[in-house]
Structure 1
């Protein structure tokens, strides 16, 4: 656990991802509220889009170790792979929540500067979105093991594949897909699931990735 925390705080990549997440939220929320001053909820919902960065960070938690060939040392230091996975999920899910809090704080500042009421429910959903995407990232990294392949596949799903799937199955079914559910959890405009339902759906996807990671943990390195 200390090793994972030390990596998060001493390696540059998590800090660069956090800075990029905060910048994205500041620009997106600021632009939204400048164009639509009465849409504080829409501006605050940009905090959820920062979840792309904890998703990448979660993938790097395991796939990055396979890429840099440090995974053998990790398992030699802690032979119980279940403990390794549990600690990675715990640390990186908490880190994802931290990303969400930073993103939500940034969005809240933008809203407050415009003297609008802060939509706390939207911001809370954004924090949960960031935390769950970090957990999904760890699970995806454990399954695919290729850092580049995992990140490319995740981005392809978010940017293209889920949209194509939505065209095929229709909006009623598409709202249960992971990114659509995440958008509903984060209060993004145009979503139809309630926040509570969306939290359950995205949580189920996260649990599925976690379970899959434990199922394949004893594969040869």
Structure 2
């Protein structure tokens, strides 16, 4: 785990992904208020703006993918396994460290979203009520979404060791395939990963059937656990080269 933390501290990729996430949040929150469709009298408006901190969990997912697939790309995985021959232990360490880092991504993104939302509400003669349990429920959901997606990313990176293929597959699923599958299976679509992430924020969306927040937490944690188990089992058996 110390080795994984050192890798994170000495590479620029985590900072680049984190910075990109903050820019997306600022753009998303600003777009919500600039569009003129935001109802300032509706308490859900602030929560929908803050929810952008969960939507950027895609960057946590990519970071998790790079944790394993990136090592295969740069040929450092051999040294990693030589220093710690028990591969399952390596993957487990990555899962733990990157889940925590994903959570930190969520915390920082939440701070950015709250600040941007507060500024826009003030500019519109409104205010952000930080004593609202709903707001804090959304913030906790955003952090959990980032943490779970980071862990899922580690699993994907272990299964698909090519960085481009792994990232492309993850993005294709979230942007295209999950939407199609969701339409085919109807109400069962709410059990899919991205839809579960949305539900984890506890913010209702018109026309979208979502799980209760606690149910979404269980579903995403289950996805992370499944990917972790499959990743560990396949990594132990595969050749490095």
TM-score using structure 2 length: 0.88
Matched, 1:79 2:85: yes
Q: Residues 199-210 of structure 1: matches in 2 within 5 Å?
A: 199-210=217-228
Question: Which residue of the partner structure matches residue 116 of structure 2?
Answer: 110
Deviation at 1:66, TM superposition (A): 0.7
Q: Residues 1-221 of structure 1: matches in 2 within 5 Å?
A: 1-34=1-34, 35=36, 36=38, 37=40, 38=42, 39-113=45-119, 114=121, 115-118=127-130, 119-170=135-186, 172-190=187-205, 191=208, 192-218=210-236, 219-221=238-240
How many residues of Structure 1 are paired with residues of Structure 2 in the alignment?
220
Q: How many angstroms apart in 2 are the aligned matches of 1:76 and 1:68? A: 15
| Secondary structure, aligned partner of 1:175 | helix
Deviation at 1:2, TM superposition (A): 2.1
Deviation at 1:15, TM superposition (A): 0.3
Deviations 1:8-49 (A, max 9, x none): 122111100000011111221232234313410110111101
Deviation at 1:189, TM superposition (A): 3.9
Contact 1:176 1:201 in 2 (8 A): yes
Deviation at 1:220, TM superposition (A): 1.1
Deviation at 1:112, TM superposition (A): 2.4
Q: How many angstroms apart in 2 are the aligned matches of 1:77 and 1:33? A: 51
| Secondary structure, aligned partner of 2:235 | coil
Contact 1:22 1:103 in 2 (8 A): yes
Question: Which residue of the partner structure matches residue 124 of structure 2?
Answer: none
Query: Mean alpha-carbon deviation: is it higher for 4-13 or for 145-154?
Result: 4-13
Q: Which has the larger radius of gyration?
A: 2
Q: How many angstroms apart in 1 are the aligned matches of 2:203 and 2:225? A: 23
Q: CA RMSD in A?
A: 1.2
Query: Mean alpha-carbon deviation: is it higher for 107-116 or for 43-52?
Result: 107-116
Question: What 5-or-longer segments of structure 2 have no aligned partner?
Answer: 122-126
Question: What 5-or-longer segments of structure 1 have no aligned partner?
Answer: none
Deviation at 1:213, TM superposition (A): 0.8
